[in-house]
A and B are shown apart, each in its own frame.
Chain A
Amino acid sequence: MSDFNPKIVAFVCNWCTYAGADLTGTSRMKYSPQVSIIRFPCTGRIDFMLLLKAFANGADGIIVSGCHPNDCHYSSGNFHARRRWIVFRGLLDFLGIDVRRVRFSWVSAAEGAKWAQLVNDTAEHVRQLGPFSGYHRLRGLGVG
């Protein structure tokens, strides 16, 4: 599996993690190109069905990241996301998706280095887990 290049989708909020990832770029820190970002106004906006949609369409891993607790631009969206994530973990388990394929994190606008680290860690992690092959089954369940 050495030539396996995982496909990782990152769902991030506009105010903290998107800006943090911008800072990674401005600081010219390098990280694995297997991750692409989709921008949301807030992690509170992230409908976790999107995560299943991504898995059902070939994603091998997912990052969800927003502002640290108490730093949310909209005051409480990240708390909603955190609660949703706690519930969602159980559903992932039920669907037979390895929970380790999803990383839930907080990256602030000042944490460019943390973003690079998070991406590299996740990419390495997912590489070890191998490609996600359960998506045919997920699509059979009607998720895709």
Chain B
Amino acid sequence: MARIGVFICHCGENISATVDVKKVAAAASRIPGVAHSVEYKYMCSDPGQQMIKNAVREKNLTGVVVAACSPRMHEPTFRRACAEAGLNPFLCEMANIREHCSWVHEKSDATTNKAIDIVRTLVAKVKKNKALLPIKVPVTKTALVLGGGIAGIQASLDIANAGHKVILVEKQPSIGGHMSQLSETFPTLDCSQCILTPRMVEVAQHPNITLHSYSELESLDGFIGNFKARIRKKARSLDEKLCTGCGLCTQKCPTRKIASEFDAGLGLRPAIYVPFPQAVPNKPVIDREHCTYYLKGKCRLCEKICPTQAIRFDQEDEILEVEVGAVVLATGFDIKHGDFFPEYGYGKYKDVIDGLQFERLASASGPTLGEMRRPSDGRVPETVVFVACAGSRDPAKGIEYCSKICCMYTAKHAMLYKHKVHHGRPYVFYMDIRAGGKMYEEFVRRAQEVDGVQYIRGRVSRIYERGGKLVVKGADTLLGARPMEIEADLVVLATAGVANAGAEELAQKVHVSYDPYYFYSEAHPKLRPVETNTAGIFLAGACQAPKDIPESVAQASGAAAKVAGLFSQSELVREPLIAVVDRQAPPLYSTCVGCFLCQAACPYQAIEKEEIRGRDGRLIKTVAKVNPGLCQGCGTCVALCRSKSIDIQGFSHEQVYAEVLALLNRGESDV
């Protein structure tokens, strides 16, 4: 038999001014199962809490209802008080008679009656409450960081410096990401490599970081604190331990005319190569698609010349299995390439290039060693047109969002061009200038006012070749949409920032959600921007949305802080308000019929399949099982379940049905 204690708070006069608390207490004492009913001026005060604790002990209560303010305010307070008195905290509920009653209604019988209804509802609920124990999940204190761009580097360093192990996986032969390709960075114009490469070296030397470059995630299983990852270490075709990075092989390789990925196709590289001189690790990779040995079966020059005999033509991909407690996705972004812009001649005219290509042209380590020379004939371009929003904010191109970084890097490009070609004429076609950020607006003004970059507000309709020049046709919308024509030597398109080619596949491997553009979705757009909906998986950098370096770094540090927070405890303690699937004795085992509608609906991939087998190993049935580490307790599965085999602790069928009946003043006996 239930012995429920009801404690009605006056909240000073906040409740008692409009609700007749004595009447509520008297009415509560008449509810079947209520063993104790009192009212007091301040239930949350020390004497108030003591009153509850004493009653729990003296009256041997099996449940407590505190009729006071919102549970969002004081539920933890009263649950703690109950726990201190030896009552399971989940046997305590709050009846909200302040925010939902006394504060929103005038003093009247109706208001008091509503307060009684609310108390009766919660008494009915608490009678069905069950004692619950917090869920404890062990935590493996190693983080897996996917992506070695600036975001992945920052996240790895922060986690490693907090004293935890990090496994950093990078797809390319070197870490560094897009930032390593940049010439100079806005708004300070400091050299990108100068600020990035020390960080890369720090990653390589950090005792807590294990770097797997030229590697990719194969699969990820498990849940927060307990993931199992399989990593494919692609064959570099050399023994990394023996290789000293002397670079002889890359100098002597006879196959030298391969478009360099690092130089965005503007430079050339050999078949055995390091992407760039400051690469980390500074160990070459053999590009098997172009290497003469792999194509024709002969050459092996690198093998002959290598002073440490490190070349391994027969090397195969290796699969590593690691256990990690958290995952940071920092897989970055790409820019739109290819025949995306037939009207701009992108891909057709050599001198229509994209932003990353311009970065390589302007970079001291680039194919022109930083001299401003156009790709077609190597001449210094006298007139350069920069086209902002090339694809971004353009529903016709299927990209409705703003790529965010282009306004700033276009201003930087125009500025860098002017700094190198003093007599040059830079023009920028733009839709709007979005320069929100510290020192950003000032930077754009500097480009316009100090460096004399001509900004034209309008879109470019067409670019075509005429007499060795690129004719850029557009309109100046600030001059009454006057048609404009500029004869340019070089055109730079600020093409839209997009998700990486493999973004969707990776999201499906690690079970995180993504938006229609394949950028990864954060758990909450405002309040949980670095978490995903899958517990234990965090986001850093431009894999979430296009963002600039400071933002990527800030988010990476945020993700690292989340990981460090998770790793600060040996066991993860979670509220047990989660879903559970019915289990019964044989021969039924469970009422679950195994339709797995719940699995399809669960936003957290918390539903697993469990095979129930007989003693002889024969499969009896496959039923759903909730992973307590992943379930967040939303209850979507509960409402969907056809056989009512899945229920949620704290908001169970029994509890909510009892609430509805009690609220409508129908006891269980009336049903």
Give me the interface of A with B, judged by CB distance under 8 Å: 5, 7, 9, 14, 18-19, 21-22, 24-26, 28-31, 33-34, 36-42, 44-48, 50, 53-54, 57-59, 70, 73-77, 80, 84, 116, 144
Contact = CB atoms under 8 A, between A and B. Distances in A.
B651 interface: yes
Contact of A30 (B96, B105, B660): B105
Interface stretch (B106-114, B333-341, B392-400): B106-114
Contact of B635 (A40, A76, A84): A40
24 contacts: A5-B110, A14-B72, A18-B72, A21-B99, A25-B70, A26-B103, A30-B104, A30-B105, A30-B106, A33-B108, A36-B118, A38-B656, A38-B659, A41-B633, A41-B651, A45-B636, A53-B660, A57-B664, A58-B664, A74-B632, A75-B533, A76-B636, A77-B635, A80-B640
The 5 closest A-B pairs by CB, nearest first: A45-B635, A25-B99, A74-B634, A44-B636, A25-B103
B117 A36 contact: yes
Contacts of B96: 22, 37
Nearest to A42: B634
Most chain B beta-carbon neighbours within 10 Å: one of A21, A26, A28, A36: A36
Nearest to A54: B660
A54 B72 CA distance: 25
B101 to A, nearest CB: 8
A80 B638 CA distance: 12
B174 to A, nearest CB: 36
Contacts of B108: 33
B104 A29 contact: yes
Contacts of A40: 635, 651, 656
A33 B111 contact: yes
Nearest to B111: A33
What interface size band does chain B fall in?
Answer: 35 or more
Contacts of A58: 664-666
A50 B640 contact: no
Nearest to A47: B639
A54 to B, nearest CB: 5
A30 B104 CA distance: 4
Given A28-B103, A54-B660, A80-B601, A36 B639 contact: no
B193 interface: no
Contacts of A31: 104-105
B68 interface: no
A57 B666 contact: yes
Given A33-B110, A74-B634, 7 more contacts: A24-B104, A38-B660, A40-B651, A42-B634, A44-B601, A53-B657, A77-B635
A9 B663 CA distance: 8
B635 A22 contact: no
Contact of A80 (B106, B639, B661): B639
A41 B633 CA distance: 7
A24 B111 contact: no
Given A28-B103, A36-B118, A53-B657, A22 B636 contact: no
Contacts of B524: 73
B13 to A, nearest CB: 13
Contacts of A30: 104-106
A104 B403 CA distance: 37
B671 interface: yes
B636 A38 contact: no
A14 B71 CA distance: 10
Contacts of A21: 99-100
A144 B671 contact: yes
Nearest to A144: B671
A75 B659 contact: no
A45 B639 contact: yes
Contacts of B664: 7, 9, 54, 57-59
B37 interface: no
Interface string B7-35: 00000000000000000000000000000
B648 interface: yes
Interface string B341-378: 00000000000000000000000000000000000000
A33 B639 contact: no
Most chain A beta-carbon neighbours within 10 Å: one of B108, B523, B664: B664
Interface in B110-126: 110-111, 113-114, 117-118, 121
A38 B103 contact: no
B89 interface: no
Most chain B beta-carbon neighbours within 10 Å: one of A38, A76, A84: A38
Interface in B73-115: 73, 96, 98-101, 103-106, 108, 110-111, 113-114
A75 B523 contact: yes
B100 A37 contact: yes
A111 B203 CA distance: 48
A47 B638 contact: yes
B49 to A, nearest CB: 22
Interface string B619-656: 00000000000001111101110000000101101001
Contacts of B661: 53, 57
B666 A74 contact: no
Contacts of B660: 9, 38, 50, 53-54, 57
Contact of A76 (B603, B657, B671): B603
